[in-house]
Structure 1
Amino acid sequence: MMLLVDARIGPSRIHGLGLIAQAPIAKGTVVWRLEPTFDVVIPESQLAQLSLAARRALAYYAVFDIEKRVFILSSDDDRFTNHADDPNCSFHGEQRASRAIAAGEEITVNYRELGWTQFGGMPLCGAIPPPPPPEGSRMSDAPNDAGPFTLRPRQESGRASPS
């Protein structure tokens, strides 16, 4: 997603690092949108072809679009946008400021609004794909039947898991 406002990575009161507005952002301003020639879109069907290191990077920094079954890896600082239950941005085809955002304020979204509720209300980021199940087995035979990811505690800064 292409970041369309002046924002930088900075200390977050929510979680480690966050995306901080460098100038005031008016209500209704488009903050970011998908730019296919700039961002990386990876179909879920290609996940198994990636190295474990690449899958870990996706799990930590990418957004998983449940409806389209694709991972979206932002190529800019947008990947540091943290979750808030009362965010200052909302997403309806593109991310917009849902209220005025002051310079120095952290830009936030509600991960649940984006459909990232696959694991009991927890966002998909911070998850690590387990190894694929043995050849010929069904998903229900695999150690993790919850889907293609296993949740793990966060150890670095980035998108925050809601508490």
Structure 2
Amino acid sequence: MMLVKNYMDRSPIHGQGVFAAEWIAKGTRVWEVTPGFDLLMPKATLQLLPDIQRDFMAHFGYVECATGQLVLCMDHARFMNFSARPNVARPTDWHGDPLDLQLALRDIEPGEELLFAVTEDLDAELKIGSQLYRT
């Protein structure tokens, strides 16, 4: 669930994107997985869905790096785009495993698109092809 004020708008990266509606200080918690709000699904369950539902989940969800579960954000977060220069990222625990949240990597200005690293979605290359976004 998004934890900062945001809005959707046209993105030069991929059609729609999520933008900061307020100034966000470096280190601010921007998003976190919220069970009961966001949908969490084992990848094995995904294979049991009809094609149209599976395609929707694959497009709008992401495969969580730490658990391998599919996560479908139920708010604007599902429209966040990847970037080679992200401004939000997942911290890791003391084992180096990613946590289920994203922090601002630097101060983010109002109107700036919120972007995360392609490495945060195990299915990223399937979604964007073999060429990573150059933004």
* TM-score normalised by the chain length of structure 2: 0.84
Question: Aligned residues, how many?
Answer: 124
Aligned partner of residue 49 in structure 1, secondary structure: coil
* Inter-partner Cα distance in structure 1 for 2:11 and 2:133: 14
Identical-residue share of aligned pairs (%): 31
Amino acid at match of 2:46: L
Aligned partner of residue 54 in structure 1, secondary structure: helix
Q: Which residue of 1 aligns with 2:57?
A: 58
> Which ranges in structure 1 are unaligned for 5 or more consecutive residues?
128-150, 152-160
**1:19-38 correspondence runs (5 A):** 19-38=18-37
Amino acid at match of 2:40: V
Aligned partner of residue 60 in structure 1, secondary structure: helix
The RMSD of aligned alpha carbons is 1.8
Task: Using CA pairs under 8 Å that are at least 6 residues apart, name the structure with larger relative contact order, 1 or 2.
Answer: 2
Q: Which residue of 2 aligns with 1:41?
A: 40
* TM-score normalised by the chain length of structure 1: 0.70
Q: Encode CA deviations 1:91-126: one digit per residue, 9 max, x unaligned.
A: 1211000000000000001112x153x6xxxx1563
* Inter-partner Cα distance in structure 2 for 1:115 and 1:7: 21
Aligned partner of residue 23 in structure 2, secondary structure: coil
**1:74-93 correspondence runs (5 A):** 74-92=73-91, 93=99
Q: CA deviation at 1:13?
A: 1.8
> Which ranges in structure 2 are unaligned for 5 or more consecutive residues?
92-98
Matched, 1:162 2:120: no
Aligned partner of residue 27 in structure 2, secondary structure: coil
Cα distance 1:79–1:45, how it changes in 2: closer, same or farther (>3 A)? same
Q: Encode CA deviations 1:76-97: one digit per residue, 9 max, x unaligned.
A: 0001111111111111211000
